[in-house]
Chain A
Amino acid sequence: MSNSNMNLKLKVWRQQNANDTGHFEDYRVQASPDMSFLEMFDVLNEQLITEGKDPVAFDHDCREGICGMCSMVINGRPHGPKHGVTTCQLHMRSFSDGDTIVVEPWRSNAFPVIRDLSVNRSSFDRIIAAGGYVSVNTGNAVDANATLIPKEIADEAFEAATCIGCGACVSACKNASAMLFVGAKVTQLALLPQGRAEASKRVVAMVNQMDAEGFGACTNTGACSAECPKQIPLSVIATLNREYIKAKLKGY
């Protein structure tokens, strides 16, 4: 039950806006092991508001690990210390009484800070808008069972499609590369017969947009996949490279 029996010290990044230099501030907060990490931040913010101070801005919405809105680099790791878990699903039982926890926003030029721990990830939308779709208007579809898709292929496409677009991959990467994010969408749609028709056009358009947004290149470290809360496999980057080279050879 919810006894507040953990005393924690937080070092939280505070930054007024994208142009501010920003700094760490120290806070003390009491938490219970059953709380989620974000609920611990709720407690902190209620405390700050009651004291007449400015609460910490952070992004969050569904709090069940699927919307991709929550972020936070916790003790140097996107979404904190656990594998395959978003910040909202990280619980305080993963920490110990007396711990000092350092909390920062995603770090990437392509994700400018809005305020404190909140960043702007609209660059991801622009990459999808460049080609991350199947060009089919409503009303054009044939019967859903008209095209058979082997279960293995459907499962592999699904695995890639579980990306939540949170940006942890970018934040984990020393080059701030978005290859895992782009690779996941390219892989999903290239695997399926419905997406195959425009696979070449798609991959080139998405990669061009990715470069234009200022994301870095991939140097095969694998931190992206290791820190991905949905455990998107590194193989999607291999697929991305393969699709890209094929498309280039075809003259796209």
Chain B
Amino acid sequence: MSKNIKLDSKIPAGELSQKWTQYRSSVPLVNPANKRNLEIIVVGTGLAGSSAAATLAEMGYKVKAFCFQDTPRRAHSIAAQGGINAAKNYQNDGDSVYRLFYDTIKGGDYRAREANVHRLAEVSTSIIDQCVAQGVPFAREYGGTLSNRSFGGTQVQRTFYAAGQTGQQLLLGAYQALERQVGLGNVKMYSRHEMLDVVVIDGKARGLIARNLITGELERHFGHAVLLCTGGYGNVFYLSTNAMGSNVTAGWKAHKAGALFGNPCFTQIHPTCIPVSGHYQSKLTLMSESLRNDGRIWVPKNKDDNRNPNDIPEEDRDYYLERRYPAFGNLVPRDVASRAAKERCDAGYGVGVSKMAVYLDFRYNMINKYGRVEASRLNIENPDEATLLQLGKEVAKEKYGNLFNMYKQITDEDPYEVPMRIYPAVHYTMGGLWVNYELMTNIPGLYALGEANFSDHGANRLGASALMQGLADGYFVIPYTIGSYLSNEIRTKSMSTDSDEFVAAEKKVREQLECLLSINGKQTVESFHRRLGLIMWDKCGMSRSAEGLKQAIAEIRALRAEFWKDVRVPGTMDSFNPELEKAGRVADFLELGELMCLDALERNESCGGHFREEYQTEEGEAKRDDENYMFVSAWECKEGNAWELHKEPLEYENIKIAQRSYK
């Protein structure tokens, strides 16, 4: 089988900035009458899925959309806080499509495709226009123009936002566009449905098997094309900022059906999350990167300095990011900030009860940045510190109110008064299904969009770029690129779901569910998930070593065997059974975890979020090996949890590759 796999990225010829324009002008079209006969299945209704389903339906295709939540509006894109990047240059600070492209490639530590990233930067501006037209209430200035702020890894202000709820507002915009098409009869929506396998007929994706989560019934659905917009797999770590239901199952079933998995080990650990507080913790909560605009990160210079942080004088504080990276300071990219926090805590300078946290402190900027501006605006002469702080708090409330409230709710501490305590946590996965320039996997007709694919962020994603990519893929890329495939499918009639392939796929799904229910062991699904998470976090998390990864692989194999012998899944198949859903997802994580470790072991270099202890500079920075590892790892699944590596070389024709520096 492997002999047949040819990694053709299908990057159009021509000059970088003209590739997408030329592609769009020459891609085959499907005429309106034919579109009505073509059925597209969209799995997942986050930013990528909702925007794709709505747009394809607007164009005239027949769309079926699936989500496991009770309504499409709850997909986890809803939780994105800080913002969305776009190269609008509204702030007149020197931004451009090229700069957004350059920042993204550099931020990804030179492990993303140039052509994809340039296209992303090009369409970024249209996304903002589209969202505003839908009634997304972005933050605005008094004059009525849109407001911007900065995110990590950039030196311009190109991030558009809606308080700390940007993902919510963008998703509701896309959800409303989707519901409009549902109302018009162009989309059939299947909520509380989970995709459990993809159906491949004569080498092409032709549909899926889904389980109706309320009745437990297995359903067969045909589509001329299948789009997986199913998000990331950060929950393999058990504790992450993902929603409880976020999972890899759709992507994993596609992988087992032949789709290659790209860069599985590239995981983003977000630097500013609320630290773990107890054994029964079920998830971690992010504090938006936007807080690093105004929050300064520090630890005490002395170990075990147990004074109230406000009583620790300046000379006893180590603003380690400002010290190590003066050019970017607190706004270094996420991977750099996370490792620096880990370094300080491992060295014994952490704060809080667990000593696994650092301070994110707003006091300085509340007083000196916002307080002074407000005092000057209000003509208050020689204001004292208390007045400045009070004025600054009001501004902070306006900018970050909901985040500060959320922090207080969870920790019972007031960030207006004391610094936040934060620590890195798993947040996003850059890896995902391998796709070509058209977002198609190596299985014809099977596409992956948004976080579910591997394509745009290399080894590290910059803040506010996930929303950009999800919406770019859904609103502005797939509507064009799918024509290249579907224009050759206009003679394919809607297929019966009684074919052998559908029957066999459903049988396989049923057998796995029956097997899970029949084990009737002693341990809960949750306990296995928690144990897998610990292995992954310790050995395939923020820092990795060959020895640790080999141990992890052995431990995961043993845990997987134990799972299939001793898991207890209560209830039945033909009813609403959340434990059964969870069991299937954890079973897939138990396989994916091994592949992630294998990928991390094979990649003998450090790049972006992938930090191998053996490969670092003298200053402890990631040390890439461009000579040997400038490629995308694309893994092919073989029988019996074995994998074969294929490599897609990365070529940089427009960017001079360099050691990444934020000093």
Chain A residues in the interface with B (C-beta under 8 A): 1-2, 17, 32, 34-36, 38-39, 42-43, 46, 49-50, 52-55, 57, 59-69, 84-85, 89, 91, 93, 114-115, 118, 120-122, 124-125, 128-145, 147-151, 154-155, 157-158, 161-162, 164-165, 188-189, 192, 194-195
- Cβ contact within 8 Å between B137 and A158: yes
Interface membership of B281, Cβ < 8 A: yes
Contact bitstring B262-290, A, C-beta under 8 A = 1, else 0: 00000000000000011111110110000
CA distance A137 to B282 in the complex (A): 40
Which of chain B's residues have a CB closer than 8 A to the CB of A194? 132-135
Contact of B165 (CB < 8 Å), options: A38, A66, A148: A66
Write out, one digit per residue, whether chain B residues 118-129 have a CB within 8 A of any chain A CB (1) or not (0): 000000001011
B287-299 vs A: 1/0 string, CB under 8 Å? 0000000000000
**Set of chain B residues within 8 Å of A148, measured between Cβ atoms:** 143-145
In the complex the two chains form, is B409's CB within 8 Å of A125's CB? Answer: no
Query: Residue B279 contacts which of A2, A125, A142 (CB distance < 8 angstroms)?
Result: A2
Q: Is B140 an interface residue (CB 8 A)?
A: yes
**By the criterion CB–CB under 8 Å, are B570 and A67 in contact?**
no
Bound form: Cα–Cα A125–B134 in Å: 17
- Does B576 have its Cβ within 8 Å of any Cβ on chain A? yes
Contacts A134-B133, A157-B137: A49 and B70 contacting too (C-beta < 8 A)? no
| Chain A, Cβ-Cβ closest to B214 | A114
> Which chain B residues lie closer than 8 Å to A53 at the CB level?
570
Say yes or no: B88 contacts A2, CB within 8 Å.
no
Q: Are B133 and A142 in contact (CB under 8 A)?
A: yes
Are A158 and B55 within 8 A (Cβ)? no
Question: Which residue of chain B has the shortest Cβ distance to A86 in the bound complex?
Answer: B409
Partner pick for A2 among B69, B177, B278, CB 8 A cutoff: B278
Partner of B74, one of A36, A61, A91, A137: A61
Contacts of B183 in A (CB 8 A): 129-131
Name A54's contact: one of B139, B282, B571 (CB within 8 Å): B571
Within B153-167, which residues are at the interface with A (CB < 8 Å)? 162-163, 165, 167
Q: For residue A160, which residue of chain B has the nearest CB?
A: B137
B558 within 8 A of A: no
B476 contacts chain A at the CB level, 8 A cutoff: yes
Query: A64 with B285: in contact, given A2-B277, A138-B55 (CB under 8 Å)?
Result: yes
Question: B191: CB under 8 A from chain A?
Answer: yes
Q: Is the CB of A132 within 8 A of B129?
A: no
The B494-548 residues at the A interface (CB cut-off 8 A) are 522, 524, 526-527
Majority-rule SS of A interface residues: loop
Chain A residue nearest to B578 in the complex (CB): A57
Contact between B132 and A34 (Cβ–Cβ < 8 Å)? Answer: no
| Residues on the B chain within 8 Å of A188, using CB | 135, 137
Q: What are 20 A-to-B residue pairs whose CB atoms are below 8 Å? A: A2-B281, A35-B280, A42-B280, A55-B578, A66-B78, A66-B165, A84-B405, A120-B214, A121-B70, A128-B176, A129-B179, A132-B176, A136-B130, A138-B476, A141-B129, A144-B88, A144-B132, A151-B144, A157-B135, A158-B137
Q: Is the CB of A55 within 8 A of B74?
A: no
Find out whether the CB atom of A46 lies under 8 angstroms from the CB atom of B129. Answer: no
Q: Tell me how far the C-beta of B177 lies from the nearest C-beta in chain A, rounded to whole angstroms.
A: 6
- Considering the complex, give the chain B residue whose CB is closest to the CB of A163: B172
Q: Are B576 and A64 in contact (CB under 8 A)?
A: no
CA distance A189 to B135 in the complex (A): 6
In the assembled complex, B619 has its CB within 8 A of some CB on chain A: no
Roughly how many angstroms separate A177 CA and B286 CA in the complex, as a whole number? 34
**A1 engages B277 (CB within 8 Å):** yes
* Pairs of residues from A and B, 7 with the lowest C-beta to C-beta distance, nearest first: A2-B278, A148-B144, A129-B183, A133-B176, A141-B133, A141-B129, A158-B137
Chain B contact residue count (CB 8 A cutoff) = 84
Distance, CA A165 to CA B281, complexed state (A): 26
Minimum distance in angstroms from B51 CB to a CB of chain A? 8
User: Are A89 and B410 touching (Cβ within 8 A)?
Assistant: yes
**Assembly CA distance A147 to B135 (angstroms):** 12
Cα(A143)–Cα(B127), bound, Å: 10
Min C-beta distance of B481 to chain A, whole Å: 14
Determine how close the nearest CB of chain B comes to the CB of A142; give it in whole angstroms: 7
- Say yes or no: A151 contacts B576, CB within 8 Å: no
Asked if B142 and A151 make an inter-chain contact with CB atoms under 8 angstroms apart, the answer reads yes
Distance A52 CA – B571 CA, assembled complex (angstroms): 10
Q: How far is the CA of A124 from the CA of B168 in the complex (A)?
A: 17
Q: Which B residues are CB-close (under 8 A) to A195?
A: 135
Contact B162 A165 (CB under 8 A): no
Given A138-B58, A165-B73, do A154 and B138 touch, yes or no (CB 8 Å)?
Answer: yes
**Residues 401-441 of chain B: 1 if any A CB is under 8 Å from the residue's CB, otherwise 0?**
00001100110100000000000000000000000000000
Contact: A1 with B412, CB < 8 Å?
Answer: no
> Would you call B349 an interface residue if the criterion is a C-beta within 8 Å of the partner chain's C-beta atoms?
no
In the complex, what distance in Å separates the CA atom of A147 from the CA atom of B141?
A: 13
Q: Are A66 and B168 interface neighbours, CB within 8 A?
A: yes
Query: Is B243's beta carbon under 8 Å from chain A?
Result: yes
Given A39-B281, A42-B526: A158 and B579 interface contact (C-beta under 8 Å): no
- B138 and A35 within 8 A (CB): no
Contact A61-B169, Cβ < 8 Å, known A133-B179, A148-B143: no
Chain A nearest CB from B374 CB (Å) reads 16
How near does chain B come to A203, taking the closest CB pair, in angstroms?
Answer: 14
A61 close to B277 (CB less than 8 A): no
Interface presence of B79 (CB below 8 A): yes
